[in-house]
Structure 1
């Protein structure tokens, strides 16, 4: 995550002068969902990491293709073991191929988790009040995962003395199905619920809930810019960083294409090609749906880099809008600090 460090330096000053509270502290923290067990980061021993924390009910069964629901579990949750990076080599092409292939990580429909890295637990004492940076990965809302060495927050947390959070959200047909008479843009709703969880629990990890910044790259940056308009009156966050993407960066599929893509998959699954096919689609193994969705081509646009995936965000008047230029002119966005670095500095850079 070194490419993100200059942004953090701009937005968040070093906090090394913060004093630790004279309170005992351990690698287990208490949250509203019960205790969570962390462990020391493999390459930064001053950083504690908490991996694979559920923030929503598993989006399976009746919750597949549904809006996310807050996690209701309790009891001790042990986070995943540290990442093993021994297989990485200096060869650039191998790294590029590795990244492009989703880093070879295991995929699962039950994916609504987040990871936290913090330096707040030091020498048996807790240090609080740190800024919090929540990251949304890119991938054109089609690929991506937090379970990647490229998004390992231990280095960022150590260098900038901040609490780093990475969020998993639903992608492709599971996050942006485009089904008729259904809740749209589920992946963006996942992001909102994750930030609500962070707001309610981050103090236990040494973070300041009043100093949350969300940031993202490419389609993650688009999601950040969308956020400013979707939650103009209740953004939760105090800062936005849209890196290489904003609300105007990518075209969307026409409504008829979105609908056709959904019914193409539902028909192949034997669920029909009209009417409400959601109940049937909830009974199909997720890997079968994923395979069928992967066969659909992306729609062409004026640039190969701006082709539109078959399952993509659509205007719903809640999380995504069709008229961002007009909304920006009317000032209908969250009035928080916003940074949009090049190359796609447009809407975000003019906002106060």
Structure 2
């Protein structure tokens, strides 16, 4: 208690966080903006910069004795070029969706500096009050394994740390060809290996920031949720973490890629850049050529047309070391699992893909999210892990993407309320929206504090009897939460899943 009182007094007097001696060196942070009592440490290196001979290689642990000015975010990992606008109406999204001005304000984002030297993490903590050893939430961003960064304003963790007595960490990992290159001459799944190394850093250092290394939970959305799920199977015997929150993706909805297709993609890029292709006599020479190219040269030959949002051409690939050729009989890490999706994931993708009819988008929501999720939840329960299921319905005026048709609770719609970072410049959050955000933060942090039982006071865990009221409908009809039967939305499920191939229709069984 004396330590807490001292920390609180120092925080009040000097207004910035105390330096912390870590395995990466002395880290000097500052007070978080708009959350003065929260200490913020930004851009802390956890791996050696993957440049030069380390490009397209697994991460190497960073250790040092120097001092890091941890007051600004590190660079984003390399992002792909954006495909130029097109007038081809056969491939362009429809232009009459009714995008309101508030959507432009809410989702406008500056261009952030990107660099291969990007393997850093960020920490938000409030050690002067609450538990001596706080549960830790580690954020893993999405972006279709193609893009993503901890720098996005939506992902700032200071408000979760301020309001819920947990430590929040966000990590950068390599994406696109730099994180999932598909190169047959070098190890695969570099982005997933980055995630592992960042978790090892958290395990070794988080106690110094007031965190509990025995209570670490991964939480991710979209491809970030996919990373969390792949991680749970990649490191089942030593996961380090004890909780897994998977928001809007599982390995069953978005399965692993095959080695052959990722190799084809790698050689497609190497050929465009002038480094050779799969028919080259010396594939190591192709790799060496790619190592010598500048980032700009690689991006110039990146061929944006071959990098759609869905399906993503990048991501975890079967290597039978971390990612496997079958998941039906594989055991995931022991721990608690919180899995769910939004009511209308397609509401975002309608802006990103070619026009489709509504039956296509209904199938999209059911096949890739609702039904894939329940398959994963049932597997978790069968393996003896507690699992909770939610469905997010929040549809709030300052987050509306489209009006014709309404975007509803679209893919990513819950992130602003969860992080308490919704843009307020044109429209303020409604009271219902504020309540939903508070509920999300409290539920997610309670899960992190005890992934085995922490959500029991919020809603019941999923049971094999899907008729029990174990589905949390968050934001349903503007209510904070209401409970429904666990299988309420599963009558549409007609696909089989294996985690390594696209969902397949189940055979029709005639009932007499």
Per the shorter chain, which TM-score range?
Answer: 0.7 to 0.9
Q: 2:44 aligns with which of 39, 53, 59?
A: 53
**What is the distance in 2 between the residues matched to 1:282 and 1:72?**
24
Match of 1:243 in 2: 247
The DSSP-based 3-state class of the residue aligned with 2:35 is: coil
**What is the distance in 1 between the residues matched to 2:335 and 2:294?**
42
**Cα deviation per residue 1:33-88 (whole Å; 9 max; x = unaligned)?**
221001001100110100000000000000000000000222111113489xxxxx
**What is the distance in 2 between the residues matched to 1:51 and 1:348?**
34
- Following superposition, the deviation at residue 325 of structure 1 comes to 2.4
- Following superposition, the deviation at residue 285 of structure 1 comes to 0.5
**Compared CA separation, residues 168 and 326, structure 1 to 2 (3 A):** same
Q: 1:94 aligns with which of 95, 100, 104?
A: 104
Residues 99-110 of structure 1: matches in 2 within 5 Å? 103-110=110-117
Match of 2:125 in 1: 118
**Compared CA separation, residues 163 and 348, structure 1 to 2 (3 A):** farther
Q: 1:283 aligns with which of 289, 292, 313?
A: 292
Judge which range, 33-42 or 285-294, deviates more.
285-294
1:32 matches 2:31: no
Match of 2:323 in 1: 320
Contact 2:232 2:239 in 1 (8 A): yes
Q: 2:304 aligns with which of 295, 302, 325?
A: 295
- Following superposition, the deviation at residue 183 of structure 1 comes to 0.4
Contact 1:146 1:168 in 2 (8 A): yes
- Following superposition, the deviation at residue 20 of structure 1 comes to 5.0
- Following superposition, the deviation at residue 255 of structure 1 comes to 3.6
TM-score calculated relative to the size of structure 1: 0.82
**What is the distance in 1 between the residues matched to 2:140 and 2:233?**
17
**Compared CA separation, residues 227 and 245, structure 1 to 2 (3 A):** same
The DSSP-based 3-state class of the residue aligned with 1:115 is: strand
Residues 128-207 of structure 1: matches in 2 within 5 Å? 128-207=132-211
**Cα deviation per residue 1:175-194 (whole Å; 9 max; x = unaligned)?**
00001121001000000000
- Following superposition, the deviation at residue 269 of structure 1 comes to 2.2
Unaligned runs of 5+ in 1: 1-17, 84-89, 300-304
Match of 2:217 in 1: 213
Judge which range, 281-290 or 109-118, deviates more.
281-290
Match of 1:5 in 2: none
Tell me how large the CA RMSD over aligned residues is. Answer: 2.4
Contact 2:43 2:72 in 1 (8 A): no
**What is the distance in 2 between the residues matched to 1:111 and 1:346?**
35
Unaligned runs of 5+ in 2: 11-16, 75-99, 343-368, 386-512
Judge which range, 183-192 or 282-291, deviates more.
282-291
**What is the distance in 1 between the residues matched to 2:336 and 2:58?**
29
**Compared CA separation, residues 272 and 50, structure 1 to 2 (3 A):** same
Judge which range, 339-348 or 312-321, deviates more.
339-348
Contact 1:265 1:292 in 2 (8 A): yes
**What is the distance in 2 between the residues matched to 1:189 and 1:229?**
13
Judge which range, 242-251 or 161-170, deviates more.
242-251
Match of 2:56 in 1: 65
Match of 2:482 in 1: none
**Compared CA separation, residues 347 and 60, structure 1 to 2 (3 A):** farther
The alignment of Structure 1 onto Structure 2 pairs a total of residues equal to: 313
The DSSP-based 3-state class of the residue aligned with 1:311 is: coil
Judge which range, 47-56 or 342-351, deviates more.
342-351
Match of 2:32 in 1: 41
**Cα deviation per residue 1:157-213 (whole Å; 9 max; x = unaligned)?**
111111000000000000000011210010000000000000000011000000000
**What is the distance in 2 between the residues matched to 1:231 and 1:326?**
15
Residues 265-276 of structure 1: matches in 2 within 5 Å? 265-273=269-277, 274=280, 275-276=283-284
**What is the distance in 2 between the residues matched to 1:91 and 1:133?**
33
The DSSP-based 3-state class of the residue aligned with 1:104 is: coil
- Following superposition, the deviation at residue 312 of structure 1 comes to 2.6
Contact 1:173 1:290 in 2 (8 A): no
Judge which range, 257-266 or 74-83, deviates more.
74-83
The DSSP-based 3-state class of the residue aligned with 1:66 is: coil
